[in-house]
Amino acid sequence: MPCSSRGIISLALSWWALRLTAQPANQNKTYGYHRAGILAALVNSTTLVVIALGIFYEAYQRFFESTAVKSPLMMVVAGIVGAGMLHALGGWSEGLRSWVEGSPEQAATLFLVVTVVGVSGPMLGLAFWMKRFASRVGRVGRYPPPDARLTRDTRVRRGSSALAIAGLHYVSAAIAVVIAICAPVLVWCIGDVLRFADMDGPVGPSGQQDANMSLNHVFVVLDGATYQGILGSDFLRKEFASFEQRTTVAGDGLEWTGLYFYGASTYVEFFAPEAIDNPIGFAGFAYGVDHPAQLEWVERQWEEKLEVPVVSYGKSV
């Protein structure tokens, strides 16, 4: 649920609790409705705890199954909007307009800072006003004995718990806004480090960007002595890596035999000189992406920047 929706529901519940608390006692509710504020506070705080647990659970899941962070896209959108706004403002100042045109990155950064201050500032202000109001009405008196006659002020005090919790809700929402705006900036700044840690994580179907592109495998046609040297090495087999000599038969009938060394996310194929129709020294490598949709991005880049035909091919086995 969006942050703003949670805030609205929380505030509405607090408002309803305040109104209910102000109702006088009657024949059926001889103690009045003063527990309404406490119940509303309980609902609001329980909601916060449940949502927080949900967020923690989702974050925990990301450690094991990460998704691509589209920070460049987020930055571009923020940058375009921000630069556009500043450009509009630039109508008042030729100097500002030329600065935006000459320094779009700085303009985008300025926009983000303005957004953080502009959005979170009023939210924090509202939250502190609520807290102040809640403590003001709370000063009216301590819990009266059950037989005491409830004044309107003491009834309102019961509702102040709900208001205080709603205030806390807004503090958390303001912090969330700041984090949500700062996160893409942070990812933008240290994205390479994050990508390094998550080079092999899966990406979604919309991850057409170059995220996670790395090496799929390498092949080399070796000289006979080296190929036999590998096959006969105890060290390579027992200590260096998991490897095997394997024959593959493709769906189109092609067949090849090679030595395969398996890394965690890349592997190496070695061929003996007689194994395939290529000379000794012939080599190749495949860039690897983790989602077929990313290949379309690769194809576009090569077509546009190399201006050469790009062949698309699928293989079966």
| Interface of this chain with other proteins, residues 156 to 195, rule: CB under 8 A | 192, 195
| In the complex, minimum distance from the CB of residue 210 to other proteins, in angstroms, rounded to a whole number | 4
Measuring CA to CA, which residue among 15, 18, 44 is closest to residue 165? 44
| In the complex, minimum distance from the CB of residue 9 to other proteins, in angstroms, rounded to a whole number | 33
Residue 218 · residue 268 · CB < 8 Å: yes
Kindly identify the residues of this chain, within the stretch 269-288, that bind other proteins according to CB under 8 A.
Answer: 279, 281-288
| In the complex, minimum distance from the CB of residue 270 to other proteins, in angstroms, rounded to a whole number | 9
**Which three-class secondary structure state does DSSP give residue 249?**
strand
Quick one: which of 58, 94, 147, 239 contacts other proteins (CB under 8 A)?
A: 239
* Contact region with other proteins (CB under 8 A), list: 23-31, 114-122, 156-164, 289-297: 289-297
Nearer to other proteins, 38 or 220 (CB): 220
Q: Is 63 in the site for other proteins (CB under 8 A)?
A: no
| In the complex, minimum distance from the CB of residue 260 to other proteins, in angstroms, rounded to a whole number | 8
Residue 100 · residue 83 · CB < 8 Å: yes
Q: Is 265 in the site for other proteins (CB under 8 A)?
A: yes
Quick one: which of 78, 162, 222, 259 contacts other proteins (CB under 8 A)?
A: 222
* Contact region with other proteins (CB under 8 A), list: 25-33, 91-99, 172-180, 232-240: 232-240
Kindly identify the residues of this chain, within the stretch 3-62, that bind other proteins according to CB under 8 A.
Answer: none
Distance of CA 94 to the CA centre of its chain: 38
How many whole angstroms separate alpha carbon 198 and alpha carbon 184? 17
Nearer to other proteins, 1 or 317 (CB): 317
Nearer to other proteins, 38 or 194 (CB): 194
Q: What is the DSSP letter of 30?
A: T
Kindly identify the residues of this chain, within the stretch 121-160, that bind other proteins according to CB under 8 A.
Answer: none
**Which three-class secondary structure state does DSSP give residue 253?**
coil
The pair of structure tokens assigned to 247 is: 């024959």
Residue 41 · residue 169 · CB < 8 Å: no
**Which three-class secondary structure state does DSSP give residue 317?**
coil
Nearer to other proteins, 46 or 228 (CB): 228
Measuring CA to CA, which residue among 285, 280, 260, 284 is closest to residue 270? 260
Residue 13 · residue 44 · CB < 8 Å: yes
